[in-house]
Amino acid sequence: MSDGKKQKGFTLWFTGLSGSGKSTISERVALRLQRKGLQVEVLDGDIVRTHLSKGLGFTREDRDENIKRVGFVCQLLTRHGVISIASVISPYREARDHNRKLIGNFVEVYTRCPIEVCAKRDIKGLYQKAAAGEIKGFTGVDDPYEPPLNAEVVCHTDTESVEESVELVIKKLEELGFIS
C-alpha cells in the first residue's frame, strides 16, 4: 500500500454452483484490488484440486477436507495481511461456517444462479455428463448444494453483468471497512 499503512487481511469466500460465475467475478475483484496496490492471492477450486488437494475424491468427507485445506491457507494469508480470495463450490454450510470461525475476517459471496443457466454456461460439459450418469455425486445434480443463509454479498449472476457483481463486492468491502 502506498500510504504506509499496513494492509488489513481478510478472506473473500466465493461459493456457488459450477458455472455460476465464481472464478470470473473473483478474478475481476482481485484485479480491482491489485490496482489499488493491495496484496491479493486467489485460490481457485480447479487449481487447488490439482495441487493442494490432489488425491481427494468427491465424497462429503473429501469435499469438506478440501474446503478446510483452502480455509487453512486463507487463514494464514489473512493473518499476514494478505487478501485471500477463495473461489470454490464449497457445497456444505458446515464447512464454510468452520472456515468463517477459523479465519475471522471472512466475507461470503454467494454467486446465485439457477442450475439451468449454469448448465448452459458449462464449457466442460460436466452437467451433461452428470445428467447422463457419467459423473456421480455432481453438486446440484445428484449431490446437494446448501446455499448460504446469511452471505454478506449475493450476486445474481443470471441477471447481473459481471461488472455489476464485481461492484456489489467492492461496495460491500468498503462498507465493512476492509478497503477504502
Residues classed as catalytic: 90
**CB-based contact 107:172 (threshold 8 Å):** yes
- Give how far the C-alpha of residue 73 lies from the chain's centroid of Cα atoms, to the nearest Å: 14
What is the spatial distance between Cα 6 and Cα 80, in angstroms, rounded to a whole number? Answer: 10
d(CA 40, CA 10): 10
Give, to the nearest 10 degrees, the angle between helix 60-79 and helix 93-103: 20
